[in-house]
Amino acid sequence: MPSNHVVVIGAGIGGLTAGALLARRGYRVLVLDQALVPGGCASTFKRKGFTFDVGATQVAGLEPGGIHKRIFDELEIEVPGAIPCDPACAVYLPGETEPINVWRDREKWKAERQRQFPGSEPFWDLFATLFKASWEFQSRDPVLPPRNWWDLWQLTKAVRPSTTITLPYTFLTVGDALRGYGLDGDRRLRTFLDLQLKLYSQVDAEETALLYAATALSVSQEPQGLYHLQGSMQVLSDRLVEALERYGGKLLMRHTVEHIEVENGKASSVRIRNQKTDEVWTESADHVVANVTVQNLVQLLGEKAPKGYKHRVEKLRSPSGAFVVYLGVDQSAIPPECPPHLQFLYDYDGPIGENNSLFVSVSHPGDGRAPEGKGTIIASSFVDPRPWWQGDRYDELKRKYAEEAIARLGQYFHLTPETIIHTEAATPRTFARYTAREQGFVGGIGQRVPTFGPFGFANRTPVNRLWLVGDSTHPGEGTAGVSYSALTVVRQIENF
């Protein structure tokens, strides 16, 4: 069995998955995180008997063959209880009272989109073809982007004649596909795609890589699907912590990694500060796994950050931040048969975000998120993080956004002083404080052609024995995505 010592920076889902799998395979593992509880953007907090998911509110990959199922089976832990989201999302366009329901059943979703977007089926047929080939390719665990011969071999092994159909589409965007099918002028279709892709790729249809979109917009249908967890999102990190410790790994919360030491071109140790005692020490490591953003990674390396890598990070377009309103409500505030996830756009001419659009997650009776007769509503909006760090208008800006979001939500939910029991809001500064993500960035790197898949940031960094997991790497955001990145790094370390 290997005896290498691995230090994992960050106890988000990616870091905990990497740590637990490495411990299961015989490595000595230490996981460090500056927060109070593990889970990162998929953690929770409690107020007045309500349990709120901090950021992530839905999960993919629990089905047989799904990434979470594969990982939990190896760790010999039970897959958490969950209900398939059906519809995965109900999308409301401006001025419309009937939603576009993204059904889990493929035939039902096909009928829905034919009714909602007449004449668009050839476009969706292309998505289905690309998704089938991409999913087949991804199921063989390719390493993207490859950085040495072993990585390239894993990528090559995943290719089959049936998967090469995707190659001509590698440099195309969804906007290109819309124009190719004469659908560029369909405002409802483009707006629907903009809304959905903003959730998954951080950018709109015009910029999102077509191959990425084909997977992101198809994974909510059977036999895959999105799931609403019983209890809360915290169950994922709790079970990963259980597995980590069962196999001899160690987790230290409220311990900040201040610097990654590099000697002779390889990561050799990390400098750690105990937040409770202010003690500082250096922990040697054979490998360092960083479950952080690429921006944070460059900061941790300081002067030892490779110049080319640092320059590439600095050239990235500004990532998104998030404004989130958390409401604990009486159940009467939530309409009967309310879908678990909804998306609203309030004005065609306004930006997607900045409270002109809201992504809403709603608890279900008995799902463990609220006392009997009560419920939770979580509404998030993408925002430019920069204004939240400028000037002295922070409290005023936070109050304005919260009031506008609640007013918007009141158009669908029955929100009154009597039905609202608890209100709380989070801003990019909140996320920066509790997750340590630079400027409170959320959702990873925009999945444009130059930054997705084969052109993205690799798990294998330019610094030897330093590995990157999380939403800055392939295949992107979400608990399933970051878990796949963790599995990739574990395989790379084993074959180092």
Residue 79 has pLDDT above 50, yes or no: yes
Q: What is the pLDDT of residue 1?
A: 44
Q: Among all chains, which residue has been given the structure tokens 């290719």? A: 159
**Confidence band of 63 (pLDDT split at 50, 70, 90):** very high
Of the chain, the percentage scoring pLDDT greater than 90 comes to: 96
- Write down the pTM of the prediction: 0.96
Residue 470 has pLDDT above 60, yes or no: yes
Q: What is the pLDDT of residue 353?
A: 77
Mean pLDDT of 41-62: 94
Q: What is the pLDDT of residue 355?
A: 78
Mean pLDDT of 429-440: 94
Cα–Cα distance for residue pair 451/371, rounded to 1 Å:
43
Contact yes or no for 402/394 (Cβ under 8 A):
no
The SS3 of residue 137 is: helix
Mean pLDDT of 105-134: 97
**Confidence band of 51 (pLDDT split at 50, 70, 90):** very high
Structure tokens at 308: 């080319």
Q: What is the pLDDT of residue 382?
A: 94
Task: For residue range 19-50, list pLDDT tens digits in order.
Answer: 999 999 999 999 999 999 999 999 999 999 99
Mean pLDDT of 218-240: 95
Burial zone of 46 (CB within 10 Å; 0-12 exposed, 13-18 middle, 19+ buried): exposed
Q: Pick the range with the lowest mean pLDDT from 52-56, 113-117, 286-290, 446-450.
A: 52-56
**Confidence band of 392 (pLDDT split at 50, 70, 90):** confident
Residue 419 has pLDDT above 50, yes or no: yes
Amino acid identity of residue 268, one-letter, is S
Q: What is the pLDDT of residue 28?
A: 97
Q: Among all chains, which residue has been given the structure tokens 């329901």? A: 101
Nearest to 480 by CA among 106, 222, 156, 220: 220
Q: Which residues contact residue 477 at a Cβ distance below 8 angstroms, ignoring those fewer than 6 apart?
A: 200, 202, 443, 444, 471
Q: What is the pLDDT of residue 3?
A: 55
Residue 2 has pLDDT above 60, yes or no: no
Alpha helices in 117-227 (DSSP H): 121-138, 149-157, 174-180, 187-201, 210-216
Query: How many other CB atoms are found less than 10 A from the CB of residue 372?
Result: 8
- Per DSSP, 495 falls in state T
Q: What is the pLDDT of residue 283?
A: 97
Contact yes or no for 353/198 (Cβ under 8 A):
yes
Cα–Cα distance for residue pair 153/139, rounded to 1 Å:
15
Task: For residue range 351-382, list pLDDT tens digits in order.
Answer: 787 879 999 999 999 999 999 999 999 999 99
Q: What is the pLDDT of residue 263?
A: 96
Q: What is the pLDDT of residue 350?
A: 78
Q: What is the pLDDT of residue 473?
A: 97
Cα–Cα distance for residue pair 121/7, rounded to 1 Å:
49
Residue 96 has pLDDT above 80, yes or no: yes
